[in-house]
Amino acid sequence: MSSGQKQGRPFWVFWGAVTATNVGDGIRLVALPLLATQVTENPTLIALVTVFTYVPALLFGQVAGVFVDRVRKRRLIAFSQAGRAVVLAVVAVAIALEALDIPMLCAAAFLYGVGEAVSDPASHAILPRLVAADNLGRANSDLQSGQIVGEMFVGRALGGILFAVAQPLPILANVLVLAAAALALVSLGEVEGAPETAVPHRVLRQGRLRDFFEELAEGIRVVMHSRLLSVMSLLLAVWAGVSGAFWGVAAIYALRDLQSGEIGFGIMLALAAVGSLAGSRIAIQVIRGLGAPGAAAISVFVSGVSIIALTWTRDLWLASVLLASNGAAVTVWNVMTITIRQATVEPHMLGRVSSTYLVLARIALPVGAGLAGLLATATDAPTVFLVFGGVLLVVSAVLLPMLWKAFGESWPRGQVSAKKIEDYPSVFSTQG
């Protein structure tokens, strides 16, 4: 892979649209809960607004993958951005009319989540059409950087600052960035590197409900019947559960064990984001230097050890460095595995496969957080880090050896060398 290759205009237009959307996501993550606090003092109702944002991915994630594989992805992403802009515009009008209430906020959060459930897998699926196979890694690295900067740094800070000035401002700002992102994608035109009609003839010929469910099941089977994809998905689910466990007790750990105060907790979060950003910038160098198998091993090891090490430190700055290390390791893994999926999955299946991964992560995150809460209640937050960090290392030690060869062969070095998923035996196969 040549890191010196420059991405073309189509990619950078796409990058700008996705990054703008991530800025909007950061604004929304801050603004909607803050608006809820102005409507009610009930903590359960306030939390419910955030919950409704993530419900659509669980309910419709797999279904969204079918639509992604059926339609033109650029238009689908633009439509989802425009739809979310309209939803938030209604919220802004309700604020102006003093008619905002919790049911309306929950509905807005839900509809916003539907847009995310559609656009996220579509963004993964369209990228191979915008860049050459041997430049996918660099493109994913750039997209990860845009996501981290846009959401974690710019969006969340902007959301809080604008809300402090006037309640409607963060909502209106989100409407503007989403509308701009949609217009950018519309202006991109039909410039994708491959026609978006490369789907099975059955999909184009028939629209029956039975066909829809067959396509839905086909996406799940593709993941289950490939050793590469199935083992990667299992490891992703475990890692997402560990991440959910950490963030489920992170505030308790910072305030009680580190005695950091709110400012110290904010410093921890900021440094974790800096680590993630650093990981996105060094990901390609790490993978090129160690090879995909070595990069996978070091990413898991650094993440697991960083989480376990939190068990024994009560120093805010050391804990922050450990969190930054974990963030960098997770981002390197994300860049590599997303790129491998894009290089090995057939284009007409990529939406459904990406949706399967996203749904697994969104299921595992709250499960991990819930289990961590129960464990922390019985013990303490540091024990949660010891247990879940250990689980990540043990599970990875079992699963990663199953992927050594596949990782080395599937990391894209060009169209010729990128192997397809059928080249890898099923993890459920009785042969070999």
Domains in the chain, ordered, with CATH? Answer: 1-189 (1.20.1250.20), 215-427 (1.20.1250.20)
Candidates 224, 200, 216, 247; CA nearest to 367 is: 247
Residue 195: pLDDT band (50, 70, 90) is very low
Cβ atoms 324, 272 nearer than 8 A: yes
Q: What is the pLDDT of residues 130-140, one digit of tens each?
A: 998 888 999 99
Whole-model pTM above 0.75? yes
Cβ atoms 162, 95 nearer than 8 A: no
Q: Residue 406 has what pLDDT?
A: 83
Contacts of 376 (CB under 8 A, 6+ apart): 248, 249, 252, 383, 384
Model confidence at 415: pLDDT above 50: no
Candidates 25, 208, 33, 55; CA nearest to 123 is: 25
Q: What is the pLDDT of residues 201-255, one digit of tens each?
A: 444 444 577 788 888 889 889 998 888 999 999 999 999 999 989 888 888 888 8
Q: Residue 413 has what pLDDT?
A: 58
Question: What is the amino acid identity at position 193?
Answer: G
Mean residue pLDDT of the chain comes to 86
Model confidence at 307: pLDDT above 90: yes
Instruction: Give me the mean pLDDT over the 41-49 stretch.
Output: 82
Residue 24: pLDDT band (50, 70, 90) is very high
In whole angstroms, give the CA distance from residue 357 to residue 231: 11
In whole angstroms, give the CA distance from residue 131 to residue 9: 10
In whole angstroms, give the CA distance from residue 272 to residue 264: 12
Q: What is the pLDDT of residues 100-149, one digit of tens each?
A: 999 999 999 999 999 999 999 999 999 998 998 888 999 999 999 999 99
Q: Residue 233 has what pLDDT?
A: 93
Model confidence at 199: pLDDT above 60: no
How far is the CA of 245 from the CAs of 116, 304, 326, 373, in angstroms? 23, 13, 14, 8
In whole angstroms, give the CA distance from residue 360 to residue 374: 22
